[in-house]
Amino acid sequence: MPMLTLSPPTDQLPSWLAQAGTVAAEIGAPDFYCRLLSLLETLIPHHSSWIISYSTEMHPDVIYTNGVSMVVTQWYVDAYRNFDPFWRMWQHRRMAGVITLERLDTAIKADIYTDLFQREAGFRDELGVILPSQGNHSLILFLQRNDGVFTQSDINRVQTVFPIMQGLHQAHVNFLFNMIDGSGMADSRRAVMIRDRSGACCYKTAGWDVFARTFPDRVGQIMDYSRTCQTGEAAQRIEFETGMTVQIKNLGECYPLAPGATLYTIECMDRARVKAADITRLGLTNRESEILSLILADKSSGEIAQKLRVSKGTVKNHRARLYRKIGVTSERALIAYFARAG
C-alpha cells in the first residue's frame, strides 16, 4: 500500500485551519470522528488509520478503520485487543495526549502484540491521539506506518494542533449530551446516567448521585428491570406508584463514546398529584405551594426567584418555612418526603 503523503500544517497552516473549520461545522454529525480522523490524517505520512473506543470495564471497541483490511480488523478483535499496549497504558494513566508505539514503555508492550499482531498486520509503528476521557471511556485516533517509525518531528506536529482537536472533540461531546437528553445533560442537577453494555457507569450527573443516595431501592429496581428487557431505539419507561418515572433508552452501537450504551433519565414526579394530596393538608400558603412545585421541578433558588420576581432571600425564607412545616431539613429530604407521600 502506498504511503499517504500530505502537506503538514506547518507548511500550509491556513489551509489546515480551514479544514478544521469544516470539521467544526460537522459537530453533532454521526460521522464527526471520521472527519476528525481525516483531519489528523492530513498532518503526517501514514498508511492506515483506526478509531478505537477504550473503557475501564470492557475490551477495546473498533469504531472505524481506513486502509485496514477486514481480516486484520478481525484479528485485532478476536485475538489481540486484550494485549493492546495503548489500552494497557490508558487503563493505568488516563491522560489525553499524543504517543507512539515505538516510544511506549516496553513493560506494557506484550510480545503477542508486537511480535505477532504487528507482523501479521504489516505495520511498523503506530501514533495514537488519546482524546480526553468521558467517565470511564475514551476515544483514540490511530495512524499506522508500515515502513519506519514516527519521528519526534511527526509527534511535535500533532502535539501542536492537539488542543484544536481536543476542543472539537469536547464540543462534539457536549452536543451529544445535549441531544440525548432534551433539557441538556450539562445541567448537573438532572438525574441522568449512561451505562456501557457491560453495565458499568460511564457518565452520570450530580443529580443522579443525589437520586441514588435518596432512593437506593429505586436504583436497584431500575437496574433489575433494565437487565430483563431489551431496549430498542424507542425509549421505555418505568412508572413508580409515587409518580416518579425513569426513561431507558439504548444509544445504539454507533454511539461513539460507549457503543451499545444505555441512557437512564429520571423524570420529575407528578406535581399535580402532590398538590392535591399534600399541599392543603400541610397548610401551605399559595406562595409556598408555588415554590414547592418549582423545587420539585428541580429549580434552583435563583431560578425560582427569577420566575416569581422576588429576591433570593425571599425564596430562602419560604424554603425554611416549608422545611419546618413538612418536618425536613434539606431539599433531598423534601423530595424523598413527597416521593413517599405520593
Please enumerate in sequence order all residues whose Cβ is within 8 A of that of 16, keeping only pairs 6 or more positions apart, or say none: 9, 39, 42, 43, 161
Please enumerate in sequence order all residues whose Cβ is within 8 A of that of 244, keeping only pairs 6 or more positions apart, or say none: 215, 218, 266, 267, 268, 269, 339, 342
Report pLDDT digits (tens) over 210-241.
Answer: 778 777 888 888 888 877 765 555 568 777 65
In the prediction, which pLDDT does 176 show? Answer: 77
In this prediction the pTM is 0.67
Average pLDDT of every residue of the chain: 81
| Distance between CA atoms of residues 97 and 132, nearest Å | 8
Asked if residue 154 lies in contact with residue 277, where contact means CB atoms within 8 angstroms, the answer is no
In the prediction, which pLDDT does 341 show? Answer: 54
In this structure, what are the phi and psi dihedrals at residue 130, rounded to the nearest 5 degrees?
-90, 115
Asked if residue 176 lies in contact with residue 29, where contact means CB atoms within 8 angstroms, the answer is no
In this structure, what are the phi and psi dihedrals at residue 248, rounded to the nearest 5 degrees?
-120, 125
Domains of the chain: 13-180 (3.30.450.80), 192-267 (no CATH), 271-341 (1.10.10.10)
In the prediction, which pLDDT does 284 show? Answer: 79
CA 129 → CA 36, 71, 90, 93, 326, distances in Å? Answer: 11, 24, 11, 14, 54
Please report, in tens digits, the pLDDT of each residue of the chain (342 residues total): 555 544 444 556 678 888 999 999 999 888 899 999 999 999 899 999 999 999 887 889 899 999 999 999 999 999 999 999 999 999 888 889 999 999 998 888 888 998 899 999 999 999 999 998 877 788 999 999 999 999 999 999 999 999 999 999 999 888 877 765 544 444 556 788 888 777 778 777 777 887 787 778 888 888 888 777 655 555 687 776 555 788 888 877 667 667 778 888 887 544 434 554 566 677 778 888 888 878 877 778 888 888 888 898 999 998 888 888 888 888 777 776 766 554
Please enumerate in sequence order all residues whose Cβ is within 8 A of that of 174, keeping only pairs 6 or more positions apart, or say none: 186
In the prediction, which pLDDT does 40 show? Answer: 94
Other Cβ atoms less than 10 A from the Cβ of 239: the count is 11
In the prediction, which pLDDT does 3 show? Answer: 54
In the prediction, which pLDDT does 49 show? Answer: 97
- Residue 71 corresponds to which cell in the numbers above? 481480516
Q: Position 318: which residue type?
A: H
Report pLDDT digits (tens) over 190-202.
Answer: 788 888 777 778 7
In the prediction, which pLDDT does 183 show? Answer: 44
In the prediction, which pLDDT does 4 show? Answer: 55
